Structure 1
Amino acid sequence: MIEEKLLMEKSFYETFLIENESTLHPIEVLGAAFVEEQQNEPYDLTYIRYAQGEVYFHSKDYEAAIYKWESILNELEPWAKKNIADSYYALGMLSAAEDVYTGISTESTVLTMEISLQLFHLYIERNKLKSAYRIIEKAVNTDPDYPLVAQLAKSFYEEQQDWKNAVELAVNESIRTSEQEWFRALLEYAEMGYAATFTPNYYYDVLITVYEEDRQLFRDLVQSLWESYGEVSATHIEWMSTVNTIFEYVEVEPGERWEDISSQFQYAYLHFLEKGYLVKEIEGIMPDLLTNWLKISKQEQPLLASSAVMAWNDVFSYSIDPMVVEEAESLLLQGEYPAFKMEETILLLNKIIEWSERNEAPVSYKSKWIAEQLLDTSQQYLVVAGSESSGKSSFVQSVLGESVGEAEHSTVVYRYHRSQAEVMEVHDRGAEKVESIADFEELMEREAFVEYKLPSEFLQKNGSALIDVQANSRGLKDLTSFYPAADGLLYVLNADSPFNAEDRQTLRTLTEIGQPVNVHFLLNKMDKIDHAGRSEEIIDSVRAKAREWFPDAEVLPYSSLEAVHLQQRDVETFLKKHYLLNPGVLKAERRVKLFYLVRKTLKDLFAQRKNQELGLKDSIEKNKDILVRLNGFHNYLGDMQNDKTTVIKESFHKKKEEIKKEISKKIPEILSGCSELITEESDFRQIHTELNEAMNSRIQTYIQEDLMPRYMVILENWLQSSRQELQDGQDYLNEMSTTFNELFGKDRVVLECDFRVVDDWRRDVSRMGTRAQIEKENILLKFKPGQFLLKSAGKLFGGIPQNKNLLYNQYKRYLENEDYSETTASVVNKFFVQFDLFEKSLDQDVKSFFAEPFNQLDLTIKETEAEIAAEEETLKKMKEQPERYFDPITLFEVELLHAEYMMKAGFKSTRASY
């Protein structure tokens, strides 16, 4: 069998050369062999021709070489074709070369690899990159150990900036060869940031391989990969899961440096706590993360990891192996660690405050203010509290040496200021300077507390600030806020009635807080005790009762009637003995108080969300109930409007009809009564005109002087009764407004009717009264048969005396018996036309009267419906993902515990100096 190396190097022809012929040219040797072989029977010239082709190729006679190789049909045929393709390649006939290369079929791995390498270079030269990718991948997969194949692929991928394939090649070759060259190539790619193309678990096998071969390189590679995946939150958890699995096999040997990896564990730990992950997303990886972190850091700086293990296990009990927890605890107890900085806790509190504001559950600014005061160890804070009868505020002002107002409704923090007094109002949103001290009393009524800076010798000398809190129902909330953060509490008792019900309730509340505070008592108003023996007895009794509440409590007697300067020395001595602490102890206690403040803030946030949900539920139920009532009242208001309209209209109509009946009856009487105006001496030629004038005059007189004054009185009474009807409606609406506002808890419903309607009615009635005069009626000047005959007879016979008696009787009989219904109807219609129009407008007028209440009611209904919908949507979101709110609080607690464990470890190392 021919050695493939000779074929690969095109040196098969050398097998025909013999030592004694080494001076002859290979062509001569092969020519002689060709002639000699022809003498054989049968002869085979294939191998000689193949060798001749090699010699021609090396001589760059490519056409002759091709000619020789084209005749090869034996086992050398695939190699001959490959050599023909090489010749075409050398001649620059790349397309022909490609056709020949791709047409070769062989089972020889070496030949396959050689063809693949040639095709790879050919494809690159022809810029057929897809084909180049395909052939180099095939070559690597066929025989990655073949010389230069992997290196060629690496260079090609790098030239193409195909970092995905480059990384994949480096990973596969690292696992396959365990060679440093590939480890370092992978590290380089990771450092360049190209490794994150793959999912983290892709690197599991290669990392294990690197760890087993080169631990330093393992640490470098883990560090680089961590930095790549740590930038992308979406893959961080998966990467951490991979790291945890890998580090189960990692053993830390003495002298190894793991600081960079430890820092990455710390970064990951804080990242998962602070970047909005849900507990369910990280609780599966955190125990292993902490366990591995502790393992690699315990030889160097185990404080952070040990504290983290303890904190996580406190919140998520039994999630970490008990042996790991025990080891962490031991490291904290045995190690020497630096003192914990309170500023770190302030940063945590600020972070909590920022989070609470983003989640619409803001922490009160007071908590931040208190935290800032705890950082200031240059002065101590003494809370002075007492019931309303204790004389607490008078005591405070006596030791301050200045009357600064009574803190009966608000808490006041008195601090030293070397020049003029300054007042700051501290409320939920922040702090604002109060320009005028005269506004101090007004501040006492607000839901805030006051920071009062003044040039007090007492405050300066004792390096203290006094927090004056009234222990009443309102002040108790402030007291429970300031109490845990105070360096001491001086509780003021009234010597005349110490430990009254208010005192006991306050002290019971303080003991239930569970945070130790240095508490002592001041027994005020001792001047009310009649003799010294009795005073000592009361002091002893008060001290005994005080120690039932606080075992170490002492009692200072005080009298507002004695000289202030003498008693002030007693107060200063008492404070220095029982309250003032050396800086080391003060700082240590402040740390504890600060942690309490943060923990209380977290509890308040947790409770606040629960209260928000309950508040929303109550508000929704309340608003739905109110909405039902509003809709019911809306219907009732419509009925009331209709009722008022009916009553007012019917009343007006009734009075109008009564007057109409009177007119209808009176007009015929007036007209008939005009017969008395006729005498036998009358001029019957003009009598009908005179009578017509007289009739109209009498009608006008009746309407203006008799009827209208009485009708105006009637209408005035109607106006008053109508106004009262409307006022009754308004009164009822006022009652309902009050009822609804009480239900809403604020002034939201205002149902004011428009009483200008009544004024308009009064004006219209007055105007109609001045228009009582109506147009004249044609009573006797019509073309009726009877009137026509009378008027004709009067004109014909009126001048004849003997006919006047006849005419007199005829006219008189006519006037007395005439039917005046038509005239009466005309008078009535003319008189009542404006009143009829007025009556018709009453419907719209009453509607106008109630228009604004309807508008307000409609608006309130819409607002209530919108409020219900908004609250239901908010509640729905709260219930859909409650963990979005509660999980960050839980993780804040882990951070707080972590800091506490660090603080305790540092305190252990420095407490000897305290």
Structure 2
Amino acid sequence: MTEEKLLMEKSFYRTFLVDQDTNRHPIEVLGGAFVEEQQNEPYDLTYIRYAQGEVYFHSRDYEAAIFKWESILNELEPWAKKNIADSYYELGMLSSAEDVYTAIQTDSTILTMEVSLQLFSLYIERNKIQSAYHTIEKALSIEPDYPNVTELARSFYEEQGDWNKAVELAVKESIRTRQPAWFMILREYGDQGYTRSFAPDYFYDLLIAVYEKDRKQFKDLVSSLWASYRGHSAAHIEWMLTVNTIFEYVEILPNDSWQEILSHFKEAYIGFLEGDYLVKDLEGFMPSMLTNWLKVSRDQEPLFPAAAVLAWNDVFSYSIEPMVTEEAEMILLEENSYQARFDDIILFLNKIIQWAERNDAPVGYKTQWIAEQLMDLSEHHLLIAGSASSGKSSFVQSVLGESVGEAEDSTIIYSYHDQQVEVKEIHDQGVHQVESIADFEELMQREAFVEYKLPSEFLKKNGTALIDVQTGKRKLDDLTAFYPAADGLLYVLNADAPFNAEDRQTLRKLAEIGQPVNVHFLLNKMDKVSHTERTEEIIESARNKAREWFPDAEVLPYSSLEAVHLQRKDVETFLGDHYQVKSGALKGERGSKLFYLVRKTLRDLYSKRKNHEKELKESIEKNEDILTRLNGFENYLGDMQSDKVSIIKDSFHQKKEAMKKEISEKIPAILSGCSELISEESDFKQIHTELNDAMNTRIQEYIQDDLMPRYVTSLEEWLAFSKQELQDSQDYLNEMSETFNGLFGKDKVVLQCDFQVVDDWRRDVSRMGTRAQIDKENILLRFKPAQFLLKSAGKLLGVLPQNKSLLYNQYKRYLENEDYQDITASVVQKFFLQFDLFEKSLQQDVHSFFAEPFKQLEVTIKDTEAEIASDQDALKLMKANPERYFDPITLFEVKLLQHEYMVKASYNASHHFS
């Protein structure tokens, strides 16, 4: 046993024991040695004292041990100090022990490690965690192979929950020792997700080391780390970059199972294509990932990765090495065991639909409905199309044996129902049950897609659903939607004028689609040509022209006017000969149609975004133009309002002033004329009172009986004039409403004025016309000098007959020559007071008349501004991140291609769809 090991275990005292001392206590032996050493000259008691300290320590006499070790000053001094610290530690004097431990200086690695481990335990006990970290890390850096040091460190890190330190330790030790135990520990950390906080390339050297040591452990560790990064976008991509680099180094041996790794590759591929990733996120690693996936899968189901390689390379041309794509092509040529399931394609379509919904580009329910029909292999779908003059609907109803009615702009799907008629409307939002005939007739007159189920023997016997599509007003939309999904098309021609312009346009559109569909023709209305010698020639000519469009097309002559039950057999035979497909082949055809439906949906989504962007630009331009017009019109409306105020007020004012002028001239004349009421026989004592009453009476009579009727008539003329002026304004506003609504494309602007104003004016004019009575004027009862003298003279002289002639002449002269302007002004002011007030209110009334158009105009302007701002924000967002919309569609296309490649690989199998 080496001396350092004895010192480490505090067993140095055993060097003083010999065989004969085995029955003696070490204290006795060392005591004898102590006495014996003292006999030497010179003597050295250091080693004996050191050994005695050890014995005291083992006997738990720590004070005696310390006493012995304190005197050690030779090469054993560092060990003695360490033992002293150990004694303090045992005594619970942790602070003293720490001071002694930290003061030890030595070149001995073992002593250094022992001191470090003791300090580490002491720091933990004293809860000095940072010091414990520093101490254990220093020990690891000095001698990681020292017994228990890595295990202590790992346990410490785990207890502290410091999984980063634990992982770092496991990685370093795995690389350094290449011990399987560390590989397993690291895998456990990965399984628990503790490795996720590290950049994936941190594990590169580790994985290479594990691969070189133990391939199974390598697979397990890769799987564990992979699982920890999945679901964390950026980290997962970085992990794939690391995986790609590692698998360039990995050699795939024959019969070597990589099943779990292959599952990770597949799951990652699907996740990247369906997750929230952009093409720029994937194109840096996906080609290498697919290459490595194919490499790993060579002996284990390579079809999926091979199809993925080719699909990616098709969409992102030449991104994968030619030798890799060639290998993938060879695999597809050799594989024929794949069975595609309808459910998988529908699931894929539903994922696209869900994505579209989240991105404000919803796919119509019609698409989902068509997909469901394609999955129903129990029923064939025969598309019936034809021009407006072909008699298509009459043919359909003749073979069904039921008259449904003409559908001007509706597509109707007739299918068998064993009990009663059931009608549903299929629209982009879902399905609507049609409950009554009235509802159905209304449905037939608008754009609709109708599912009409009925107990038809023809449909039941032939296992067929007829899709009656209109090709006129709908611009072939429904026909092009159903055509690729139908099992066949029967195109109805008018025998009297086959292949007219509408027919040619429709057939040209179908040919452009390029999707293989079994197309044949029905030559209808043969009754118009059946009695001519050219019947066979017409049929043959139609067949030849039909085959210019569709080389395998056949033609069936038909007349809806002849015996239907006889011709129905001909139709059934024709359908059986030319449209029936065996069940296995039907699965394949329906699968292809499902793929087409998915591809069309992707194209529609792409176009929808482009169209939406175009619509936004057009909407902004249109609304900005409208806004300019609205603002200009608002200014014009203000000017028009001001003009109407001026015109209506001026008209009223002129009529009022004319009456004022008349009354101002008439009142003085009336008052002067009252002189005729005076005679020499008058009672001059009371004459002034009588004359005052008479004058007021004459004024009232003039106003009531003469002036007021004419004034009311004049005001009624003014009312009619004003109403016409306002009606002209309303007519103009109606025209502008139609103009703006035409620009908006909807009834958005209603500039309706308030004609209640005219009724209020009429009421006010009527009221003022019946309130012409004015207060009595004091004409001759004033204290004016002339009146005072006349009244006084009348009282004094009126009793004398000889004086009456004088008074008569004085009164008459006064009445005829008096000014009366103040009286006239008073009468005018009183009479016209209400008319003046009415005139002052006219401006506010006209403003009230125009108030609602102004309000409506203001609301429309604000709405238009808000719509422009909203469209601009939406367009800005589209232009800022177009890849957020288009990239997922591109990745969906990759997945679609991959599905199609897998189906093509098994095309020669008897059932390649399940």
Q: Same fold (TM over 0.5)?
A: yes
CA contact (8 A) 2:341 2:913 kept: no
User: Per-residue CA shift, 1:529-577, capped at 9, x if unaligned?
Assistant: 1635301111111111111111111111111221111111111111111
User: Per-residue CA shift, 1:643-694, capped at 9, x if unaligned?
Assistant: 0010000000001111111111111111111112222222222222222222
Corresponding position of 1:88: 88
SS of residue matched to 2:522: strand
Q: Which amino acid aligns with 2:815?
A: L
User: Per-residue CA shift, 1:228-256, capped at 9, x if unaligned?
Assistant: 22143342222222222211211121222
Corresponding position of 2:287: 287
Q: 1:906 to 1:727 in 2, by over 3 A?
A: same
CA contact (8 A) 1:484 1:593 kept: yes
**Stretch moving more, 797-806 or 84-93:** 84-93
Q: How far, CA to CA, are the matches of 2:724 and 2:448 in structure 1?
A: 48
Q: How does 1:471-620 map to 2 (within 5 A)?
A: 471-474=471-474, 476-529=476-529, 531-620=531-620
Are 1:663 and 2:663 counterparts?
Answer: yes
Q: Which amino acid aligns with 2:368?
A: K
CA contact (8 A) 2:340 2:912 kept: no
Q: How far, CA to CA, are the matches of 1:26 and 1:290 in structure 2?
A: 75
Are 1:76 and 2:76 counterparts?
Answer: yes
Corresponding position of 1:257: 257
Q: Which amino acid aligns with 2:480?
A: T
**Stretch moving more, 276-285 or 125-134:** 125-134
Deviation for aligned residue 1:208: 1.2
Q: How does 1:697-736 map to 2 (within 5 A)?
A: 697-736=697-736
CA contact (8 A) 2:335 2:906 kept: no
Corresponding position of 1:842: 842
Q: Which amino acid aligns with 1:845?
A: D
Q: How far, CA to CA, are the matches of 1:236 and 1:250 in structure 2?
A: 20
CA contact (8 A) 1:413 1:451 kept: yes
Q: How far, CA to CA, are the matches of 2:449 and 2:32 in structure 1?
A: 119
Q: How far, CA to CA, are the matches of 1:883 and 1:13 in structure 2?
A: 81
CA contact (8 A) 1:641 1:850 kept: yes
Q: How does 1:85-164 map to 2 (within 5 A)?
A: 85-164=85-164
Q: How far, CA to CA, are the matches of 1:526 and 1:495 in structure 2?
A: 6
Corresponding position of 1:852: 852
**Stretch moving more, 821-830 or 726-735:** 821-830
Q: 1:362 to 1:559 in 2, by over 3 A?
A: same
Deviation for aligned residue 1:616: 0.8
CA contact (8 A) 1:409 1:475 kept: no
SS of residue matched to 2:451: strand
Q: How far, CA to CA, are the matches of 2:226 and 2:802 in structure 1?
A: 145
CA contact (8 A) 2:412 2:451 kept: yes
Q: 1:884 to 1:912 in 2, by over 3 A?
A: closer
CA contact (8 A) 2:906 2:912 kept: no
Q: How far, CA to CA, are the matches of 2:377 and 2:267 in structure 1?
A: 32
Deviation for aligned residue 1:67: 2.7
**Stretch moving more, 11-20 or 324-333:** 11-20
Q: Which amino acid aligns with 2:713?
A: V
**Stretch moving more, 380-389 or 161-170:** 161-170
Q: 1:125 to 1:674 in 2, by over 3 A?
A: closer
Deviation for aligned residue 1:105: 0.8
CA contact (8 A) 1:644 1:726 kept: yes
Q: 1:689 to 1:336 in 2, by over 3 A?
A: same
Q: Which amino acid aligns with 2:863?
A: E
Q: 1:442 to 1:36 in 2, by over 3 A?
A: same
Q: How does 1:804-815 map to 2 (within 5 A)?
A: 804-815=804-815
Q: 1:284 to 1:665 in 2, by over 3 A?
A: same
Q: How does 1:342-381 map to 2 (within 5 A)?
A: 342-381=342-381
Q: Which amino acid aligns with 1:347?
A: L
SS of residue matched to 2:740: helix
Corresponding position of 2:203: 203
Q: Which amino acid aligns with 2:133?
A: Y
Q: Which amino acid aligns with 1:619?
A: S
Corresponding position of 1:773: 773
SS of residue matched to 1:907: coil
**Stretch moving more, 423-432 or 337-346:** 337-346
User: Per-residue CA shift, 1:397-423, capped at 9, x if unaligned?
Assistant: 001011011122110000011111010
Corresponding position of 2:412: 412
Deviation for aligned residue 1:64: 3.6
Q: How far, CA to CA, are the matches of 2:639 and 2:360 in structure 1?
A: 44
Corresponding position of 2:647: 647
CA contact (8 A) 2:620 2:868 kept: yes
Q: 1:838 to 1:161 in 2, by over 3 A?
A: closer
Are 1:458 and 2:461 counterparts?
Answer: no
User: Per-residue CA shift, 1:159-181, capped at 9, x if unaligned?
Assistant: 44443332222211111001112
User: Per-residue CA shift, 1:341-392, capped at 9, x if unaligned?
Assistant: 1211111111111111111111111111111100001111111001111100
SS of residue matched to 1:381: strand
Q: Which amino acid aligns with 1:849?
A: F
Q: Percent identity at matched positions?
A: 73
Deviation for aligned residue 1:191: 2.6
Deviation for aligned residue 1:16: 4.6
CA contact (8 A) 1:423 1:437 kept: no
CA contact (8 A) 1:427 1:447 kept: no
Q: Which amino acid aligns with 2:107?
A: E
Corresponding position of 1:629: 629
Q: Which amino acid aligns with 2:679?
A: T
Q: How far, CA to CA, are the matches of 1:746 and 1:67 in structure 2?
A: 107
Q: How far, CA to CA, are the matches of 2:356 and 2:605 in structure 1?
A: 8
User: Per-residue CA shift, 1:765-823, capped at 9, x if unaligned?
Assistant: 11111112222211112111111111222222222222222222212111111111111
Q: Which amino acid aligns with 1:309?
A: V
Q: How far, CA to CA, are the matches of 1:547 and 1:898 in structure 2?
A: 35
SS of residue matched to 2:433: strand
CA contact (8 A) 1:753 1:852 kept: yes
Q: Which amino acid aligns with 1:674?
A: C
Are 1:398 and 2:403 counterparts?
Answer: no
Q: How far, CA to CA, are the matches of 2:697 and 2:61 in structure 1?
A: 152
User: Per-residue CA shift, 1:307-350, capped at 9, x if unaligned?
Assistant: 11111111111222221111112111102323211211111111
Q: Which amino acid aligns with 2:572?
A: E
**Stretch moving more, 723-732 or 903-912:** 903-912
Corresponding position of 2:428: 428
SS of residue matched to 2:909: helix
**Stretch moving more, 20-29 or 203-212:** 20-29
SS of residue matched to 1:688: helix
Are 1:191 and 2:191 counterparts?
Answer: yes
**Stretch moving more, 648-657 or 865-874:** 865-874
Q: How far, CA to CA, are the matches of 1:66 and 1:837 in structure 2?
A: 122
Are 1:682 and 2:682 counterparts?
Answer: yes
Q: How far, CA to CA, are the matches of 1:118 and 1:635 in structure 2?
A: 93
Q: How far, CA to CA, are the matches of 2:870 and 2:704 in structure 1?
A: 66
Q: 1:155 to 1:809 in 2, by over 3 A?
A: closer
Q: How far, CA to CA, are the matches of 1:121 and 1:230 in structure 2?
A: 39
Q: 1:532 to 1:566 in 2, by over 3 A?
A: farther
TM-score for both structures, normalised by structure 2: 0.97
Q: Which amino acid aligns with 1:213?
A: K
CA contact (8 A) 1:495 1:526 kept: yes
Q: Which amino acid aligns with 2:683?
A: D
Q: How far, CA to CA, are the matches of 2:543 and 2:518 in structure 1?
A: 15
Structure 2: 5+ residue stretches without partners: none
Q: How does 1:228-243 map to 2 (within 5 A)?
A: 228-243=228-243
CA contact (8 A) 2:409 2:473 kept: no
Q: How far, CA to CA, are the matches of 1:253 and 1:264 in structure 2?
A: 19
CA contact (8 A) 1:340 1:907 kept: no
Deviation for aligned residue 1:102: 1.4
Deviation for aligned residue 1:897: 1.2
